[in-house]
Structure 1
Amino acid sequence: MSAPAEKGYAIDYLHPAGEPALVPPDSPQWRVFKNPIAMAVGGVAAVLLEFADARIRSGVWDHSIYKIDPIGRSRRTGIAAMAGVYGPASAARRIIGGVNRMHRKVVGETPAGEAYRALDPELLDWVSATAGYGFLEAYHRFVAPVSPADRARYYRDGEAVARLYGVQRPLTSDADFHAMLETLLPRFEAHPINLEFLEIIMSGRAAPTIPKVLHRALARAAVSILPPAVRARLGLGTAFDLTAIDRLMLRAAGKLADRVRDRNAPAWQAAVRLGLPGDFAWRSPAAQRRWFAQRGMQPNAVGVAAT
């Protein structure tokens, strides 16, 4: 399904036929990014991790439409994430290039007077790290366990996309994420914007047809996957504790979403574009390997663009 045609964010995942993606179809990224619960929980966690740093928080608040249209801004961020994993490589590069051009204009000062610019390598690295960690950890906790080997490959397969954004230190492991976090943690601080963001999520404005109870659970789930030291710095106390009912509800929703084979989903249409079964991303890694073996093919021979 094409993404909303706004400001260059239109994506046709079905065409051009055969055009590879930046991430191979047997990657754990294809499995993780197809799940809307993992993407929602992980995306909220990533924003909290980013807003913890005053430079990123100020950059987003002062130089985007986030404060007047947080849902639209978040939706476009999601489109860019999907394009990087499933889109034809040419379309993914176009969208990422557009994001980079916008980021070049983002310069300013925090309320405390510290200069920032969106293309600061430290900030680019952290924004990329928060998304990678958030989506993976949300899938692992609320959908299905991800093995250490698949976690390592998930990070490795994301490097090509991260480099296009200008990231200099793409994650290769969970240890990389925690090392980066340890460096930045002293800068993190509580701020009303963090609470305002969580209030928007809990209000259900992003998806009015979904019960608010699920939105509230989603927000608490996002807080639950923050490293404890970050949660403490942000002052997100017991009001954001994930309840047993929240956990059961989200795991049920995550597992159900993982079984729904949506023919309009980017994962389905990207697979069709590559000549694979539409439900390829929904198949187990063993089933994917069998599909290739039955045709005398190697997985790495299909669907990944040169970088």
Structure 2
Amino acid sequence: MVVSEQIAGGRIVAWHRGASPLVLPPPIQERLERCVATLLQPGGEPPVDFTEPVDEPALTRPESVSWQVFRNPVSLMIGGVAAVLLELAEPRVRSGVWDHSSFRADPLGRLQRTGLAAMVTVYGPHSKAEAMIAGVRRLHERVRGKTPSGRVYRASEPELLDWVQATASYGFIQAYDRYVRRLSDEARDRAYAEASVAARLFGATGAPRSEAEREILFRRMADGLEGSPIVFEFLDIIGRTPVLPRGLRPLQPLLIRAAVELVPAPMRRTLGLGPRYGLAFWQRGLVRLSARLADRVLLRGHPAVQACRRLGLPDDYLLRG
């Protein structure tokens, strides 16, 4: 395996070129394939075929940073939980999510729908991604109400959409950078810029297009963030929901703790997430090892692989660089 390294802004970004997939025993490979298929396919809904229409591009290109980041199921879970924690810190977003979603009653179903939406946004053909996003916008138009303090909100407010998009991008990029492979400043900026294409379609016209813009937005929103018992209810629910297959389930609490550690320290303090919610040194190493191994597993049913086939690329294209 040859590793290409680029030094930028004092950080190293390494891309594996010619990396061979990690060969797993067939029973384990099959179990992981089933797990990914289950997590990305909400019950009662028709499956999304990422291999069709042939040659139709996605919103982002195969050589993008996003195609690498969203391929890793371990860092994706970590980043997704971190993003939700940040979302729940904003009282209007928290009320919109908690009062108008099925998360408490059907957490696995909600996770499946959210995961599938992320996959369609990154890997889906342009036409399917735009149709899905249009459907989400129609749902947002109907979500409105008041926070417990009496503040009126609408889910379609640009400021709230910008926060949701910024926290999602931060979670996924930060999780990949910390637990899989260090990204250069240039690669991180590219990832934010790539995400802004879909963000605009969602209505988040002010979503950050770079790390610097993300930092500005976080500082601007900081004074309006607050803690809530809902944050701990969310952590309890996500901890009890069987997201990972049985053999890997002991890893799930560690991934949740890894997500907590991604939340910037001032925001962790605001949410009341003290050191006991973080990882021990050995746990951090285990999470990093799991995420790096997951980056070398070729899951042929994964949307990333199916999207490669749609565009005439080999199944292991994203392992090559």
Asked if TM exceeds 0.5, the reply is: yes
Match of 1:132 in 2: 169
Which amino acid in 2 is paired with 1:163? R
Alignment of 1:55 onto 2:67: no
Q: Deviations over 1:102-150 (max 9, x none)?
A: 1110000001100001001100000000111100000000011111111
Judging changes above 3 Å, is the alpha-carbon distance between structure 1 residues 140 and 47 closer, same or farther for their aligned structure 2 residues? Answer: same
Match of 1:41 in 2: 78
Task: Quote how far apart the aligned CAs of 1:16 are.
Answer: 0.8
Judging changes above 3 Å, is the alpha-carbon distance between structure 1 residues 160 and 7 closer, same or farther for their aligned structure 2 residues? Answer: farther
Where in structure 1 do 4 or more consecutive aligned residues deviate above 3 Å?
Answer: 5-10, 210-213
CA distance in 2, matches of 1:7, 1:108: 29
- Which segment drifts farther, 176-185 or 122-131? 176-185
Judging changes above 3 Å, is the alpha-carbon distance between structure 1 residues 279 and 40 closer, same or farther for their aligned structure 2 residues? Answer: same
Judging changes above 3 Å, is the alpha-carbon distance between structure 1 residues 210 and 197 closer, same or farther for their aligned structure 2 residues? Answer: farther
Q: Which runs of 5+ in 1 are unaligned?
A: 285-307
Which amino acid in 2 is paired with 1:19? E
**In 2, are the aligned partners of 1:204 and 1:215 still within 8 Å (CA)?**
no
Match of 2:203 in 1: 166
Match of 1:293 in 2: none
Match of 1:110 in 2: 147
Q: Which has the higher strand share?
A: 2
| Number of aligned residues | 284
Q: Which runs of 5+ in 2 are unaligned?
A: 1-36
SS in 2 for 1:108: strand
Which amino acid in 2 is paired with 1:239? R
Alignment of 1:22 onto 2:63: no
CA distance in 2, matches of 1:116, 1:210: 42
5 Å-filtered alignment, 1:145-224, equals: 145-224=182-261
* TM-score when normalising by structure 2: 0.85
* TM-score when normalising by structure 1: 0.88
- Which segment drifts farther, 66-75 or 133-142? 66-75
**In 1, are the aligned partners of 2:137 and 2:202 still within 8 Å (CA)?**
yes
Judging changes above 3 Å, is the alpha-carbon distance between structure 1 residues 276 and 81 closer, same or farther for their aligned structure 2 residues? Answer: same
Match of 1:81 in 2: 118
SS in 1 for 2:145: strand
**In 2, are the aligned partners of 1:143 and 1:255 still within 8 Å (CA)?**
yes
